[in-house]
Chains A and B, each alone.
Chain A
Amino acid sequence: MKMNKRIGVFFCTCQGKVTEKVDYGLVTSEIRKLPQVEYIGESSDLCCQTERELICRKIAEKKLNRIVIVGCVKPKQERQFKELMKEAGANPHLLFLGDILEECCNVHEKGALCTFKALEMTKMAVARADKLEEVHYDKIPVNRTVLVIGGGLAGIETALESAARGFKVILIEKEDKLGGRLSRVNTIFGTDRIPAFLLEDKIAAVTLCSNIEVWTTTRLIDLDGNIGDFTAWLDTNGIVTNINVGALVIATGVQTVFCPVKYGLSISGNIIGLMNFERMLAEGKDFNYKRISMVVGKNTEAYALPFVIAVKNAVLIRKKFDAAVNLFYTNMKVSGDNWEKLYSEARGLGVHFFKFEDELEISLSQGEIAISYEDPFIQGKIPGSYKIVSDYIVFPEELVPAEETEQLTSILKIEIAPSSFMSVDNVHILNESTSRDGIYLVGSCQYPGFVNEIEMSAKIVAQDISRRLNADIVEVELTQPYVDAAKCVVCLTCYRCCPHGAITIEHGEHYKNLYRSAARMNPLACRRCGICAAECPGKAIQMPDYTDDQILAQLEAMEV
């Protein structure tokens, strides 16, 4: 049904701020000549309630079906006027706002040119309004099952948090039992909880929870679909099952690689990795009357984790044993909650801190480790280097993403960060989101994290999932680009260009083209950037509120 365009243009003087520079009389007299313009109103403050009521009345009275507001446009005003359209019973997308105050008055000097520009902007706004189209809501059924990949602390925590919000959870783990890396940890900084007990409690909670299904020795081998409707293929000991889930949480964690070769050392009993050292402490190894040197420096500075673990264990050793602890560092990163306190405590307990700048010379002879070291602070004042002898030397292991991370990212179609961990989409929006909606990262698969951070992330992700998939049927405004099937040649250009994997090729008799198929932008997964619309070689894709018609009409209305 084609309705005649009846445009109402409402001018706002923004309490005289606009009319200070622009002659509205001239503008309105020109705009009145445009054939589609049915009504012109002027007010000193369109934001006030009585004026809003007036607009509503005029929409009904003059049967206006496109509205142009000319004045100032801040996000707040945009929301208000959209609300107003709804109140007036009109589709909020039939509204176009022209920001004369900010784009014209404030940035130009008073004069004929300023009024001319205001007129031109209004003309362009009217031309655009003429092409505006309604946008409706749709109800989309979604699956409310969450698939959590990885049964470490992050996975367990997310599973529990999601289950607590009423979601069914499938927790998969590639090993034969839950627990992950936390089971190898001796203490957790910042809490008195013993990791083994903590894990035991959490695993018990998972087992007791009727909403959580645990699949061990299982891995994800393939994935299709988008948020609310993923199909995941799971391999359990060679048996493949496919399940339907609404969201995925990746909690595959980190792995450590110990390579003393980097420091010119070979594998030996008294050369220990930092995590391994922690494990020795957990197992109760006796370090009495021993001299221990820890080196946290070059190449291990990317993450804060090794610093905290080293200082934490230095404190522990000094408290528990009669042992000497030397800590060599290039930069001490103690920038977290209470970390500075921990560092002071270590100093107070007599841990020796040595700053070094370039290379340390480490040699091993007769079971003893000698570190030749030059102090950068007194360098030059006292010549020569010190030699510090110890029984054990401890290095942090390299922290690298869990095995098969690369395969997993290609299955999930998400990005890998330069650090080779999985990449977060935009830290300003949500620290746990990936480039694809409905796929989240919790824990160390993003970067090596701390227990308290992981617990927080798990809560945030569970909360975001429950926000996105709040009911079995979710309502969504169809502002995502749409495809004219008659023009779509299913060339896959949009599919390949979409940064969010939100485009699928759908098949069906209702697609009226040669291929009986067309691209489709998933309304839940699409983030409304419009890249696909600009890439389409057949001009088959249009983005609501930014269609080619609208923008070209706006350009057409521009004066030369």
Chain B
Amino acid sequence: MNHNYQPKIVVFTCENSGWLALKHASALGLLIPERVEFIKLPCSGKVDLLYLLKALEKVDGTLVIACQKENCKFLKGNLRAEQRVNRAGKLLKEIGLEEERVRIVYLAANMEHKFAETVQNFYDKIRELGPNRGKVMK
């Protein structure tokens, strides 16, 4: 494995949990890898399957950060997000890519340490997997 390899990751965050956790992590100066982009959504339920796939055409992994189960501000948003993430994983697996490249994590706004840790772990995991072979080079 190339030791200089740095994966690129897109993180979709719910503005009621992940987004706030990011702000708190930032206030504490917790470090997050540079090659991670955050996109805020009003609810994880807004995550479109197409967003996940379009992102994966360019990057090595996508992470969805949703509110804790049974604690979605909109009742079922995080559950719908989970279903879409699962389907995205299945679609990747079907074409011989690693389904681990897309993942959903549930956390609360006040879990900034868990947030930083989750992003780092996911980053490390993707780093281990190596470059996304389905990526469209541009």
Contacts and interface: CB of A to CB of B under 8 A. Distances in A.
Interface of A: 74, 101-103, 106-109, 113-114, 116-117, 120-121, 124, 415, 425-426, 429, 435, 497, 499-500, 527-531, 533-535, 543, 546, 548, 551-552, 554-555, 558-560
Contacts of A101: 26
A499 B116 CA distance: 31
Given A531-B76, A533-B46, A535-B80, 7 more contacts: A102-B27, A415-B75, A529-B45, A530-B45, A534-B48, A552-B54, A555-B10
A435 B73 CA distance: 10
Interface in B75-115: 75-77, 80, 84
Contact of B51 (A103, A107, A116, A552): A552
Contacts of A106: 26-27, 29
A114 to B, nearest CB: 7
Nearest to A113: B34
Nearest to A533: B46
Nearest to B76: A499
15 contacts: A107-B22, A107-B25, A107-B31, A117-B34, A529-B73, A530-B42, A530-B46, A533-B48, A552-B50, A552-B54, A555-B55, A558-B8, A558-B10, A558-B58, A560-B137
A431 to B, nearest CB: 15
A531 B37 contact: no
Interface string B1-37: 0000000101000000000001101110111101101
Contacts of B138: 560
A426 B73 contact: yes
B74 A500 contact: yes
Contacts of B43: 529-531
Contacts of A435: 75
Contacts of A124: 37
Contacts of B42: 528-530, 543, 546
Contacts of B37: 120-121, 124, 558
B39 A554 contact: yes
A536 to B, nearest CB: 9
Contacts, number: 111
B26 A534 contact: no
B119 to A, nearest CB: 9
B135 interface: yes
A106 to B, nearest CB: 4
A555 B29 contact: no
A529 B37 CA distance: 22
Given A102-B22, A548-B48, A527 B74 contact: yes
B74 A108 contact: no
Interface of B: 8, 10, 22-23, 25-27, 29-32, 34-35, 37-39, 41-43, 45-51, 54-55, 58-59, 73-77, 80, 84, 116, 135, 137-138
A107 B46 contact: no
Chain B CB count within 10 A is highest, among A103, A415, A529, for A529
Contacts of A529: 42-43, 45-46, 73-74, 77
B8 A114 contact: no
Nearest to A74: B23
Given A555-B55, A555-B58, A558-B37, A531 B74 contact: yes
Contact of B8 (A107, A426, A560): A560
B101 to A, nearest CB: 15
A543 to B, nearest CB: 7
A76 B7 CA distance: 34
B41 A548 contact: no
Nearest to A559: B8
B51 A560 contact: no
Contacts of A103: 22, 26, 38
A546 B41 contact: yes
Contacts of B34: 108, 113-114, 116-117
Contact of B46 (A108, A120, A426, A534): A534
Nearest to A101: B26
B52 to A, nearest CB: 10
Chain A CB count within 10 A is highest, among B30, B42, B54, for B42
A107 B27 CA distance: 9
Nearest to B25: A107
B48 A560 contact: no
A109 B29 CA distance: 10
B108 to A, nearest CB: 11
Nearest to A536: B48
B50 A497 contact: no
B80 A107 contact: no
Given A120-B37, A529-B73, A543 B46 contact: yes
B58 A499 contact: no
Nearest to A534: B48
A369 B74 CA distance: 52
Contacts of B41: 530, 546
Contacts of A531: 43, 45-46, 74, 76-77, 80
Contacts of A558: 8, 10, 37, 58-59
A102 B23 contact: yes
A109 B34 CA distance: 9
Contacts of A534: 45-49, 80, 84
B75 A499 contact: yes
A499 B74 contact: yes
Contacts of A415: 75
Q: Across chains A and B, which 3 residue pairs bring their CB atoms closest together, nearest first?
A: A530-B46, A529-B74, A531-B45
A339 B75 CA distance: 34
A425 B138 CA distance: 46
A101 B29 CA distance: 11
Chain B CB count within 10 A is highest, among A107, A425, A533, A546, for A107
A107 B73 contact: no
